[in-house]
Amino acid sequence: MKRYIFGMSMNKRDLASWIDNHTYQTLVAIAQLYLFPTGNRVHWRKEVWEKFSRIYTLKGSNKLPSAKFILDNSWNTHKQELSRILQYAQDKESQYEVYTDANFDEFYQIAEDYFYWLSDKLSAHKEVLLSEVKQELDALGLDEIDSRI
């Protein structure tokens, strides 16, 4: 007789919903980093990691979801909302001055690149480390000390 332990696993529908909820919060933190070069960047970079740093296994198989599944339920469900997310972040952080050269296409590319990277990492390793997220944000130009100012 074999015994399988399925701890902290979710069925596909629940996992898709969980990913969807955490994606929005992550995109807001990325928008804050992009829009506000003099804002609370240390905090926002940590928020990017905290909001979506791990993934659950699939119930019944105890396997990690594929990168495609993660991407389909994160980036692909929220990319059409990016202009509203940018506006939400701007309204939320009205005490900071907005990056003067901010443009939608640049933000879109940063967010897309981040979620492709995150989907690949999570599907292979279940979680990402804060140091890995910081390194990826640096590569995307969202450094702790913004070089754009």
Q: Which two tokens stand for residue 68?
A: 């495609």
Q: Is residue 2 part of a domain?
A: no
Question: Residues 37-66, buried b or exposed e (16+ Cβ, 10 A)?
Answer: bebebeebbebbbebbbebbbbeeeeebbe
Question: 106-149: per-residue pLDDT in tens?
Answer: 999 999 999 999 999 999 999 999 999 999 999 999 999 887 76
Q: Is residue 96 part of a domain?
A: yes
Contact 145, 85 (CB under 8 A): no
| Average pLDDT across the chain, whole number | 91
Question: 9-57: per-residue pLDDT in tens?
Answer: 788 999 999 999 999 999 999 999 999 998 899 999 999 999 999 999 9
Q: Is residue 147 part of a domain?
A: no
Q: Is residue 5 part of a domain?
A: no
Q: Is residue 148 part of a domain?
A: no
The whole domain housing 121 covers 11-139
With a cut of 60, say whether residue 5 has pLDDT above it: no
Find, among 130, 124, 85, 83, the residue nearest to 105 by Cα: 83
Work out how many domains the chain is built from and give that number. Answer: 1
Q: Give me the DSSP letters along 49-108.
A: HHHS-B-PEETTTTBPPPHHHHHHHTHHHHGGGHHHHHHHHHHHTTTSPPPTT--HHHHH
- Look up residue 126 and give its DSSP letter: S
The residues facing 10 across adjacent strands are 58
Q: Is residue 133 part of a domain?
A: yes
